[in-house]
Amino acid sequence: MKIVCSKSKFSTAISIVLKAVSNKTTMPILECILIEAQGNKIKLTANDMELGIETYLDGEVIEPGRIALEAKLLSEIVRKLPDNNITIETDDTYQTMIRCEKSKFKISGKEGSDFTELPEIEKDKFITISQFTLKEVIRQTIFSTSDNENNILMTGELFEINEDKLKVVSLDGHRISIRNINLKENYGFNKVIVPGKTLSEISKILTGEIEDEVKIYFTSKHILFEFDQTRVLSRVLEGEYYKISQMLSSDYETKIDINKKEFLECIDRSTLLIKESDKKPIILNITSDNIELKINSTMGSLKEEVEIKKEGKDIMIGFNPRFLMDALKVIDDETISIYMVNPKAPCVIKDNKETYIYLILPVNFNI
Amino acid sequence: MKIVCSKSKFSTAISIVLKAVSNKTTMPILECILIEAQGNKIKLTANDMELGIETYLDGEVIEPGRIALEAKLLSEIVRKLPDNNITIETDDTYQTMIRCEKSKFKISGKEGSDFTELPEIEKDKFITISQFTLKEVIRQTIFSTSDNENNILMTGELFEINEDKLKVVSLDGHRISIRNINLKENYGFNKVIVPGKTLSEISKILTGEIEDEVKIYFTSKHILFEFDQTRVLSRVLEGEYYKISQMLSSDYETKIDINKKEFLECIDRSTLLIKESDKKPIILNITSDNIELKINSTMGSLKEEVEIKKEGKDIMIGFNPRFLMDALKVIDDETISIYMVNPKAPCVIKDNKETYIYLILPVNFNI
């Protein structure tokens, strides 16, 4: 194989596929990036058997072929080469010469045929959304996935398509995050549970531009994201996702409207007096037209007040401050509405159109 | 004590004195910042007994007094308060109320009189230089101080004043860094060894502006930096600094002129194939009009060439790549001159006026 391509394009392509390179593996081939040159196309692939990414880049193919190179070393070498054309040339023993200006690196490669390429999947079920929307919806829900592998379904997110609606759900046993998105077309019915790791890696690759689109294909085993010159293929989590509809009652005894920024900053300050190990809740005392927040700890005490608009009963309720902050941080609205029933029942933060619903379980407290 | 000041000014002042707060101490008072209010001045002080910093800020003193507050907690609280006026009020039991808008923190303070304030020192010997120059000279020399406490003098830097010249020297047994600076006035003769830690902390506080000045006072025990509203006092290291003049011979057998950026990038790439634990040198083969750099390791091989202008003999010489890179990174010249004698003798990188001199010992190598 012999190819010539620009350092910057090669570097970008490597950084994309690098997200699917295995860090901990006993199979050295999984630590490699496969370079394939055919026609006038150069393709890079990485695959850790859960997540696979391939991306194309432009370049000159002088001699077609393929080689697998150790991903980290390749990425470091390319990053430190001058900003000019790079020539990569392999010989029969998989020795690989990487040249740029007067630098000549020689490293050992592996036969490309040891590499597991991404399988082709059926492409009959799909949706199209903007990269911006996908990147945002991941950011707005990923924090409430669990990293406890014992509840494997909690490590993923539900993507549920219902005609022209996409619902994305994550939950970790203490809280549920739901985002509802309007699609431009009617795509029928479908649902799939996507591993959280796949979503967080893909959100790092997405440009996040509104005008850039991503096509998402679903099968019973896989989910495929296609965008720009890149394909990201992931296994899906198999099983039946949690029934959440029964947890989302619309009854409430207390509803408050509150300035989001003020509320968030005030909870943030309260965490200063709580050590992580304490697991002490913050207690909200909601009366006529304000929330009073009080913390007493060995480090000191804090009293805060935030003005609110209240409907219904007064209530005193305790929360893990981090759970409230995680939800508040990803809501863009200036004023938010919080619905409560009693100090033992979950509170719900949602907008009128239910584009977002954040449900958080309260915590017991002693006064 | 009762004071009112703006959050932003208070926050800036805390971040300045925080550099002298002790992290590891058995004396809780050393983890505190002392706040003193007198007249219409508010003074903050921190002192870990090696390094002490005090800074003044504007504010309203409603009731004069003093209090010592746990530095990290105070800093976190102030950072997270709204951007508005902060009121700090203490009672007879050193309970301290920190109020801002609707937030009311209450934390325990300590009696100010437990706190060791900065001693006054004699102010007859001093120099004045710009904050820019001081910040730069620290950056350009600090890397070759040693952190081995067994050679205590190597952990500091020599500041030597000779009429209108300031010479700053650091060395760690493998290399010497020297910077010569022209002062605006004649300040007589003086020399002092300043702890490296003091210099690295002070360089974080300096604005680095050319028009901002800093006055440096010297005594046999202390060095005092005065700038803006701030005083930084440090003990000096006692003892006789190393005689370096005999190591700086101006004889050479080989002199090369080389593009600094190209040379630096080429050494940087060579480190990719050397593991930190290897301690393998890079070998420079200097012939008629180029340097050839070759690395062979278990990870692969690299060959580089850089064009040079050479005077004198050909030479093959080995270096620790990090030592070369450290020096090259802080030299601003586009083209640099390197002087060598033989593969066992130190090389010297310097400009014609000797505003900088970097001496680096070579490393033995086998071909």
The residue extents of the domains of chain B are 2-114, 126-235, 249-360
Residue B367: the pLDDT is 65
Q: Is the model's pLDDT at A164 over the cut of 90?
A: yes
State the Cα–Cα distance between residues A266 and A293, nearest whole angstrom.
Answer: 8
pTM value is: 0.90
Nearest CA of chain A to the CA of B3: how many Å?
19
* pLDDT tens-digit profile, chain B (367 residues): 999 999 999 999 999 999 999 887 778 889 999 999 998 899 999 999 899 999 999 999 999 999 999 999 999 999 999 999 999 999 999 999 999 999 999 999 999 888 988 999 999 999 999 999 999 999 999 999 999 888 999 999 999 999 999 999 999 999 999 999 999 999 999 999 999 999 999 999 998 899 999 999 999 999 999 999 999 999 999 999 999 988 888 899 999 999 999 999 999 999 998 876 677 889 999 998 899 998 888 889 999 999 999 999 999 999 999 999 999 999 999 999 999 999 999 999 999 999 999 999 999 887 6
* Whether the domain at B2-114 and the domain at B249-360 fall into the same CATH topology: yes
- What is residue A348's three-state secondary structure? strand
Any alpha helices (H) in B41-171, and if so which ranges?
Answer: 71-80, 131-139
Position A279 pLDDT exceeds 80 = no
Alpha-carbon span B340 to A24, nearest angstrom: 46
The alpha-carbon gap from A80 to the nearest alpha carbon of chain B, in Å, equals 6
β-strands A165-171, A156-162 pairing? antiparallel
Given a contact cutoff of 8 angstroms between Cβ atoms, the answer to whether A322 and A288 are in contact is no
Residues in chain B with CB shorter than 8 Å from the CB of A91 are: none
Residues A78/A90, Cβ–Cβ less than 8 Å: no
Convert the pLDDT of each residue in A53-103 to its tens digit: 999 999 999 999 999 999 999 999 999 999 999 999 999 999 999 999 999
Distance from CA of B356 to the nearest CA of A (A): 27
Res A274 pLDDT > 90: no
Q: What is the pLDDT of residue B51?
A: 94
CATH, domain A126-235, list 3.30.300.130, 3.30.70.260, 3.40.50.300, 3.10.150.10: 3.10.150.10
pLDDT at A172 over 90: yes
Closest partner residue to A272 (CB to CB) among B76, B82, B302 is: B76
Pairwise CB contact (< 8 Å): A303 & B76: no
Residues of A in contact with B82 (CB under 8 A): 265
Q: What burial class does residue B301 get, using C-beta atoms within 10 Å of its C-beta: 0-12 exposed, 13-18 middle, 19+ buried?
A: middle
Q: B304–A102: do the CB atoms touch at under 8 Å? A: yes
Pick from A82, A265, A301: which is nearest to B82 by CB? A265
* Nearest residue on chain B to A82, alpha-carbon basis: B265
Q: What is the pLDDT, as a whole number, of residue A367?
A: 65
Looking at residue B292, what is its pLDDT?
Answer: 95
Statement: residue A16 has pLDDT above 70: yes
For the segment(s) B249-360, the CATH number from 3.30.2290.10, 3.10.150.10, 3.40.50.300, 3.60.15.10 is 3.10.150.10
Supply the DSSP symbol for A64.
-
Rounded-to-integer distance, Cα B105 and Cα A272, Å: 10
Q: Which CATH class is domain A248-360?
A: alpha beta
Q: CB–CB of B269 and A81 under 8 A?
A: yes
Please give the CATH number for the structural domain made up of B2-114. Answer: 3.10.150.10
> Does residue A254 register a pLDDT over 90?
yes
Identify the CA nearest to B56 among candidates B82, B35, B84. Answer: B35
For CA atoms A81, B358, B200, B42, give the dihedral sign. negative
Contact B240, B26 (CB under 8 A): no
List the single residue in B102, B104, B300 with the smallest CB-CB distance to A106.
Answer: B300
Buried b (16+ CB within 10 A) or exposed e, B307-324: ebebeeeebebbbbbebb
Confidence of residue A32 (pLDDT cuts 50, 70, 90): very high
